Amino acid sequence: MMPCRGGARPRPRRCFGLAFLLLLALPVPAWTQVRPDTVAADTAARDTILVPIPPTAVSADTLPSDSLRRTARDSVQATPFPSYPSPLPIGWGAGRWEWDRAALWRYHGYSLLEFLERTPGFTVVRAGDHGQPVGITALGLGGGRLRVFIDGFEIDPLGYTSVDLQQVGTADLESVRIERDLSGIRIELSSIRAPESRPFSAVEAGTGVWEAKLLRGVLVRGVGGRSVITASYDAVTTEGYRFDAPFSMVAARAAWSYAVSERTGLQLEIRNSGVERLEGAYNENYDRRTILLRGRSRIRDGLVVDGALGRAWRKPATDDFLATDLASVQGMLRASYTRGITWGEALVRVRDDALTSSASPRLELATRAIFRPLPWASAESELRTSRLGDAGALVWRATGRAGRTGAPTVFLSLAGGAQGVGLVADEDSIPQFSSISSTVAAVRIGAEITRNVFSAGLAGVNVAGARIAPFGAAFDRGLPARDADAARGLEAHASGVLPRTGEFLRAEGWVSYWPTGGDRPYLPELDARAALTANGLFYDGQLEPSASFQVARRGSMLVPQGQAGAEYVSTTPYTLTNLFLQIRILDIQAFGLWENLLNYQSAADLPGRPLPGQRLIYGIRWVFRD
């Protein structure tokens, strides 16, 4: 599972062919069959609000159903690893957005970052082309508030305060859920599961300007009646804008799950990744490995228990800006219970000496609950306590929603408490972590309406009393926390099918406006995106063309001028346009992504670090179902 490396300048593209020859050489017998998920479906109703950016309004998977005739050999079945129920409401009003596998595969890009940029209300601060340092925040909360989980197990940002989403493989994702609450950002990734009653594999290859290349693949197959194996490979490489910012990433995963019974499963998983970013500030050249054992069981109807124990470690190579090995051991236990109109979850997470390697809590206790007393009314609550270094935290959040079908739905969200936020600096190439206690006092109130193929919403947000931490990325690493005043803003979204187009054309967009920014860094005065999308099915679903033309506008915001001090400057507003095209014929998808279509070359989120000019990526994905 080691990434291919060699010579003074290891490049993962050297092992593209070898990795996939090994992956595709695995025989996929037609007799292997997978049972449907044995965990009961979520009983709590979901929001009916659809937010087309990201594309949550897209229908279910439109790939043609299996037309091959089954034989007696198909009687052998393999039970997949049980799923974990997640009935939390999704939509713009709830502040959650989710893509299933079909929606993920309708859009292409380098990494998870592209999906986050399409999501309303998030601020992505880029330091250049793909692979260069980024910061992610929302609602003016600053850095250190992004958490990323894979099947409930948190990815610890070893050596940093937040995970870089450009360095997380996407080849084997079943779904992505992004949650933006009033205290931070939570990204839930679900690994691909045995998707249907036959083996499954897919290969994606692409290339583009600035020597960009990507190669991804995944294989899922049953073995006997109790085991399912999964293998995935994800590699991206580019020389960067104007060929002066090279970056490469290779991620591989192998997992074996075993069904103890139809209700209980065990899974062993190994992840390995290699990252190289040289010729710039804070060079990165390291290997990261994770070994993980998890178990999940449906104790009885409505009650699911999930546990995991794993170790992650980061080993630097030549020229890495960190000169020491970093590691963390994490244990997690959670239980979910659904009964009638209620759902609840309790969680405990512990780490071994976490603060010495990452800004993650040593101990965390959390509980969440949903209560839906009436079909048109619901309440949601969360309580989370943790300890990060010497900073304790107790954060609470509550949301209420009410509205009948076809009528406006009103919602109110509140959050309060204190949260530990990590800071990081470097001494002799060894990360030095500290923490601060940052209070949370926020409210969001609004309304939205959905009728047939139209939806719209408007909300007001007030965020007060927080100390703003830097991202801990290369461009603000070591800067002190910053006190900020209250920020007040408005956000809105709208989406609708154009008349007389047979639901083929849809116009959609969202905007966030902060007339009172509270002197908070990384909070644009205006952030907006509008799109015209087309999607249709022809010839009994065998042909599916898709297209999207997008315009993104970002206003000025405060950003650090440099690492030498804590001086902040205002950026220059900019507007970018993007074009996406895809054609699917049966199980083959050809795609093209043309970013910054009008070649606006002066756009920048940080002083002296321009965003890429025109960037074109094109490629093909092929799905194999036997």
Task: Kindly state the helix (H) or strand (E) to which residue 46 belongs, with its residue range.
Answer: none
pLDDT digits (tens, 9 = 90+) for 121-167: 899 999 988 889 999 999 999 988 999 999 999 999 999 999 999 99
Asked if 177 and 86 count as a contact pair (C-beta separation under 8 A), the reply is: yes
Query: Above 70 in pLDDT, residue 446?
Result: yes
Under DSSP, is residue 117 helix (H, G, I), strand (E, B) or coil?
helix
Structure tokens at 336: 């979910």
Going by C-alpha positions, the residue among 370, 367, 480 that lies closest to residue 434 is 480
180's tokens: 């933006």
> How far is Cα 568 from Cα 562, in angstroms, rounded to an integer?
8
Phi–psi pair at 317, nearest 5 degrees: -110, -170
Place of tokens 């085991």: 227
Between CA 296 and CA 259 the distance in angstroms is 10
**Is the Cβ–Cβ distance between 548 and 524 less than 8 Å?**
no
User: Does the pLDDT of residue 192 top 70, yes or no?
Assistant: yes
> If you average pLDDT over each of 22-26, 429-433, 505-509, which comes out highest?
505-509
d(CA 200, CA 195): 7
How would residue 410 be classed by pLDDT, with cut points 50, 70 and 90? very high
Cβ distance 422 to 414 under 8 Å? no
| Contact assessment for residue 168 and residue 496, using Cβ atoms and an 8 Å cutoff | no
Which pLDDT belongs to residue 3?
Answer: 43
Separation CA 140–CA 50 (nearest Å): 25
Q: Is the pLDDT of residue 29 over 70?
A: no
Residue 18: predicted pLDDT: 42
Express each pLDDT in 68-102 by its tens digit: 333 334 433 567 788 898 888 899 999 999 998 88
**pLDDT mean over 37-51:** 37
What is the per-residue pLDDT for 62? 38
- Higher-confidence position of 39 and 95: 95
Q: Is the pLDDT of residue 2 over 70?
A: no
What is the spatial distance between Cα 303 and Cα 538, in angstroms, rounded to a whole number?
Answer: 43
> Using one digit for the tens of pLDDT, what is the confidence trace for 467-519?
899 998 888 888 888 889 999 999 999 999 999 888 899 999 999 999 999 89
Burial of 339 (0-12, 13-18, 19+ CB in 10 A): exposed
Report residue 384 as tokens.
């989370």
SS3 content of the chain, % helix, strand, coil (to 5): 5, 55, 40
Instruction: Output the average pLDDT for the chain.
Output: 84
Count CB-CB contacts under 10 A for residue 308.
22
Structural contact between residues 91 and 143, judged by C-beta atoms closer than 8 angstroms: no
The CA distance from 255 to 220, in Å, is 10
Is the distance from CB of 478 to CB of 426 less than 8 angstroms? Answer: yes
Q: Which residue has the tokens 């043309």?
A: 594
pLDDT at 383: 96
CB 199, CB 29: distance < 8 Å? yes
Q: What does the block give as tokens for 535? A: 């999607």
Do 292 and 269 meet the contact criterion of CB atoms below 8 Å apart? Answer: yes
- pLDDT tens, position by position, 532-573: 999 999 999 899 999 999 999 999 999 988 665 568 899 999
User: 12-624, which class in CATH?
Assistant: mainly beta
pLDDT attached to residue 395:
93
Q: Which residues contact 70 (CB under 8 A, 6 or more apart)?
A: none
Handedness of CA 122, 95, 396, 86 (dihedral sign): negative
Q: 507 φ, ψ to 5°?
A: -105, 140
Which of 126, 105, 109 is CA-nearest to residue 172? 105
Q: Is 315 left (phi over 0), alpha (psi -120 to 50) or beta?
A: beta
Cα–Cα distance measured from residue 240 to residue 160, given in angstroms and rounded to the nearest whole number: 23
Concatenate the DSSP letters of all residues of 449-461 into one string: EEETTEEEEEEEE
Q: Residue 359: which residues within 8 A CB-CB, separation 6 or more?
A: 144, 157, 160, 161, 388, 421, 422, 423, 424, 433, 435, 472
CB 513 within 8 A of CB 490: yes
Domain ranges across the chain: 12-624
Question: Using CA atoms, how far apart are residues 341 and 58, in angstroms rounded to an integer?
Answer: 27
Cβ-based neighbours of 561, under 8 Å, separated by 6 or more: 567, 568, 569, 607
Q: What is the pLDDT of residue 196?
A: 58
Of 380-394, 401-415, 444-458, 504-518, minimum mean pLDDT range: 380-394
Looking at the whole model, is its pTM more than 0.75?
A: yes
| Chain position carrying tokens 């910012």 | 245
- Quick count: other Cβ atoms within 10 Å of Cβ 41? 9
626 confidence band (pLDDT: 50, 70, 90): low
Task: List Cβ neighbours of 384 (8 Å cut-off, separation of 6 or more).
Answer: 364, 365, 366, 367, 393, 394, 395, 396
Q: Is the pLDDT of residue 622 over 50?
A: yes
- Model confidence at 328, pLDDT cuts 50, 70, 90, reads very high
Q: Which of 237-246, 259-268, 435-444, 563-572 has the lowest mean pLDDT?
A: 563-572
Confidence at residue 36, expressed as pLDDT on a 0 to 100 scale? 40
pLDDT at residue 56 greater than cutoff 90: no
Report d(CA 79, CA 72) in Å as an integer: 18
Residue 190 has pLDDT above 70, yes or no: yes
What distance lies between CA 106 and its chain's CA centroid? 16
Model confidence pLDDT, tens digit, residues 279-325: 766 789 999 999 999 999 999 889 999 999 999 999 999 889 888 89
* pLDDT of 11 over the 80 cut: no
Query: From residue 626, how far is each of 28, 459, 467, 578, 589 by CA, in Å?
Result: 6, 48, 54, 36, 18
